Structure 1
Amino acid sequence: MTFENKVVWITGASSGIGKELALTLSKTNCNLILSSRRKDELERVKSACNNTENIKVLAFDLSHYANMKTIVEDAVKAFGKIDLLINNGGISQRSPIIDTTIEVDKKLMEVDYLGTVALSKALLTHFIENQSGHYVVVSSLMGKFSSPFRSAYCGAKHALHGFFDALRLEHDKDNIKVTMICPGFVNTNVARNALTADGSKQGYQDNMTENGLPVNVFVKRMVRAIEKEKYEAYIGKFEKFGVFVKRLSPKLLHKLVLKSRVR
């Protein structure tokens, strides 16, 4: 596929991967809808983009998933259709299971899983009517295997794979595509904004994230995976090989992850 003349809707577009996607795709001949909770930040991102006349801002909160039908209606009105929904919005978590309140688990599921699923379901009728559509879901390598101190995050990301694999199967007949993007460590503020055991933000960067892929490098690889309509893309440094190690030997991966002591 190509982004030429497409309408692309990006959630989580106010920072990190979403912001870089907006900057990158604004250089192509496509229309963009940028979404996140913070309208002021979205406007700043829009101002930094090329072809701002082809960009609309639509602020909403993924955790308010009962409102998604209205949100989708507003998005479709912006340019008359949606071709791609890039589900990038979400939060991470860093805390031991034994200390993590159930409210934190609930928050991760509401934002990372239920919000994304509700938005995608609300858009599904539009895709079926057009007999065309492409869901891109920014999951994580943690959606394929787990790591200590990320239990709620891993649970939500694993759930996304289960849902969207089923959606791909059910709507193959409607020419609806699904691409799961699985980042490893990417140098964004994801660790700083991660929730800790009591729901407060971690507030600092970790070494693995700091030394992860530069966000512009990651986004270039992500865009190529979308254009190739890949089912899944694992994008990172050495950590991406954990997906393949798990297929061969879950016990070996267990030992390797413990040895790395990723925190």
Structure 2
Amino acid sequence: MSFEGKTAWITGASSGIGAALAGEWARRGANIILSGRDESRLSAVADRLETETKTLPFDVRDDEAMRQATEEAASWKDGVNIFVANAGISQRSPAVDTDMQVYRDIIDIDLTAQIAATQALLPHMTQRGSGKLLFISSIAGKVGVPMRTAYCAAKHGMIGYADALRGELSQSGIDVHVICPGSVATDVSRNALSADGTPRGRSDKVIDNGIRPDDAAKRIIDAVELNQREIIVADGMEEAMGEMRRTPDQLFDQVAGMVAAGYMEKMQAED
């Protein structure tokens, strides 16, 4: 498919994978809506893009701000063609030492808020009968990784939501893509929460030596262009781990077939 003239709305767009996706889609002719908490950083990203842009700063945990942003995004140009649920925060702490509030914060930001944003946008996309939803999960959403129990819980949950939603939308013209990056050279480790909820403040060597964000963005968008439903963006051992836990396309097709055969209507009739 061509992205020329389409509108992509990206959360967590002020840096890292989100900013890189904005740059790559802009190069392919898309219009870009950028969201995040820091308006100045979003504006700096927008200034680098050679396309039409709109910045919608808000905290993903602020339901009213998110609702207003959704209305603005849906009314800009021809509406949102592509939505990327990318905002998130990671963790570096053993479970036995980790405050319960860390679990609540990470699951709220990385999972619940991303579901809320998607739910707000769904009526706009279903009414139009087209669109693409991208969920930035992680290899840690496929494999339980030590020191990241809260993060893994949230990212596994994101995949579960996205896979179920894909089945429900399989007859609607809306595509759902799950993205599972491995180590990408961003500030994810530096910004990760420690056991007491404070930022870790330092990076990991494996992250610093990871895939460059621009390369990750190109891989993601190339795969979306090919309509791949589960997209693993990793190298080496991380790629092998992701491939071992990859969901077979046949299973996605089976669920879509259930929906096409009236599974949802039958379930609703029994209520």
TM norm structure 2? 0.87
Match of 1:240 in 2: 239
Deviations 1:215-238 (A, max 9, x none): 111111011111111110111111
Match of 1:150 in 2: 148
Whole-angstrom distance in 2 between the partners of 1:87 and 1:12: 8
Shift of residue 150, structure 1, vs aligned partner: 0.3
Match of 1:4 in 2: 4
Question: Which aligned pairs between 1:1-263 and structure 2 lie closer than 5 A?
Answer: 1-51=1-51, 54-65=52-63, 67-238=65-236, 239-245=238-244
Shift of residue 243, structure 1, vs aligned partner: 2.6
Whole-angstrom distance in 1 between the partners of 2:63 and 2:99: 22
One-letter code aligned to 1:199: G
Shift of residue 162, structure 1, vs aligned partner: 0.7
Segments of structure 2 that go 5 or more residues without pairing to the other structure are 247-271
Q: Is the 8 A contact 1:14 1:36 kept in 2?
A: yes
Whole-angstrom distance in 1 between the partners of 2:2 and 2:77: 18
Q: Is the 8 A contact 1:143 1:154 kept in 2?
A: yes
Shift of residue 203, structure 1, vs aligned partner: 0.6
Give identity over the alignment, percent.
38
User: RMSD of the TM alignment (CA)?
Assistant: 1.3
Q: Is the 8 A contact 2:59 2:65 kept in 1?
A: no
SS in 1 for 2:146: coil
Shift of residue 67, structure 1, vs aligned partner: 4.2
Whole-angstrom distance in 2 between the partners of 1:160 and 1:27: 28
Shift of residue 245, structure 1, vs aligned partner: 3.7
Q: Is the 8 A contact 1:181 1:233 kept in 2?
A: yes
Match of 2:258 in 1: none
Whole-angstrom distance in 1 between the partners of 2:242 and 2:26: 32
Match of 1:258 in 2: none
Whole-angstrom distance in 1 between the partners of 2:178 and 2:2: 17
SS in 1 for 2:88: coil
Shift of residue 71, structure 1, vs aligned partner: 2.1
Equivalenced residues, count: 245
Q: Is the 8 A contact 2:111 2:157 kept in 1?
A: yes
Shift of residue 210, structure 1, vs aligned partner: 1.0
Segments of structure 1 that go 5 or more residues without pairing to the other structure are 248-263
Shift of residue 151, structure 1, vs aligned partner: 0.3
More displaced 10-residue stretch of structure 1: 236-245 or 204-213: 236-245
SS in 2 for 1:33: strand
Whole-angstrom distance in 1 between the partners of 2:88 and 2:62: 13
Shift of residue 172, structure 1, vs aligned partner: 1.1
Whole-angstrom distance in 2 between the partners of 1:81 and 1:214: 30
| Residue 178 to residue 98, structure 1, CA distance change in 2 (3 Å) | same
